[in-house]
Amino acid sequence: MKFITESDLRALYQAQPFDRYVPQLGTKITPGARQFLIDRKIRMTDSASNGRAQKKKEEASCPSPVKKDSISKRRLLCRLASVEAMFLATAQELLEQDIQMAQQVIELSGELSQIKSVLESGGTLSSVSCAACTGIGEENAASDLGDCFAVTGFHIQLQKGKEIILLHQLRCTLREMNLDLLERSEIEEPSDIPYQEASRWVNQILNRLSQMICEASGGKVCRRKT
């Protein structure tokens, strides 16, 4: 009996991609080769006689699209809750340095809570309070503007160095989560769940954090690259 290895299948796939694999009679695939097919969602049919049984086995071993979608949504909601908790923990740490800044972070955590509520139960989102500055205004507050400037080791030497790093950490974590929202908005069929709108809401929070970082660093003129 001839064994088909992962290398054999990889070479076949590179030469001509395929979505179904039918082993020849007298051959047997190795565990590594089988995993290669599973990773690429390539269906394997052993033969015409047991094709139906194989199909049922695959369907039983793979979660249904509905179940996958449910888990994906729950994972996103859990991530939102984790980020919200991180905002609150940061606010608690900031209380010793800057009470006003801590209060602003608490308010932003409330905005995240509203996003989570809308994604869970539906509803509408309103604008985040983002005071206009020389680089951010009503016309672009909900856009992905990136960082106003790079936060480096230099900033930890400033009077509010700790506050700057804490805010930057929140911004980085929030930006990662926003990618999940954007991904959902791209693959989601038309529905009542406003993933794209929620992503624009998160952009407003990100831009507000950027303003706070700029203020903490003593900035008077916007340093955002346009």
Tell me, what DSSP letter sits at residue 17? -
Residue pLDDT, tens place only, 170-185? 999 999 999 988 888 7
Q: What is the structure's pLDDT at 186?
A: 75
Q: Which runs of consecutive H residues, i.e. helices, occur in the chain?
A: 6-15, 31-39, 51-61, 65-94, 99-121, 161-187, 195-216
The Cα 91–Cα 111 span in angstroms is: 14
- The set of residues, in sequence order, having a beta carbon less than 8 Å from that of 193 and lying 6+ positions away, is 73, 119, 122, 184
pLDDT tier for residue 226 given thresholds of 50, 70 and 90:
very low
Picking from 64, 50, 92, 85, the residue whose alpha carbon sits closest to that of residue 174 is 85
Asked if pLDDT for residue 63 goes beyond 90, the answer is no
pLDDT tier for residue 50 given thresholds of 50, 70 and 90:
very low
| pLDDT-above-90 percentage for the chain | 23
pLDDT tier for residue 11 given thresholds of 50, 70 and 90:
confident
Q: What is the structure's pLDDT at 44?
A: 84
Residue pLDDT, tens place only, 134-160? 677 777 877 888 887 788 888 788 888
In the structure encoding, which two tokens stand for residue 56, read together?
């049922």
pLDDT tier for residue 125 given thresholds of 50, 70 and 90:
low
Picking from 59, 57, 32, 62, the residue whose alpha carbon sits closest to that of residue 46 is 57
Find the range with the poorest average confidence among 8-22, 61-75, 113-127, 148-162. 61-75
Residue found by looking up tokens 């020389």 in the block:
134
Mean of the pLDDT values across residues 199-220?
87
Q: What SS3 class is residue 3?
A: strand
Distances, alpha carbon 67 to alpha carbons 73, 104, 159, in Å:
10, 38, 50
Q: What is the structure's pLDDT at 106?
A: 94
Chain-centroid distance, C-alpha 66: 20
Picking from 27, 77, 73, the residue whose alpha carbon sits closest to that of residue 47 is 27
More confident residue, 11 or 123: 11
pLDDT tier for residue 220 given thresholds of 50, 70 and 90:
low
In the structure encoding, which two tokens stand for residue 151, read together?
């936060």
CB of 128 closer than 8 Å to CB of 210: no
The Cα 155–Cα 206 span in angstroms is: 19
Angle between helices 6-15 and 31-39 (to 10 degrees): 40
Q: What is the structure's pLDDT at 135?
A: 76
Tell me, what DSSP letter sits at residue 188? P
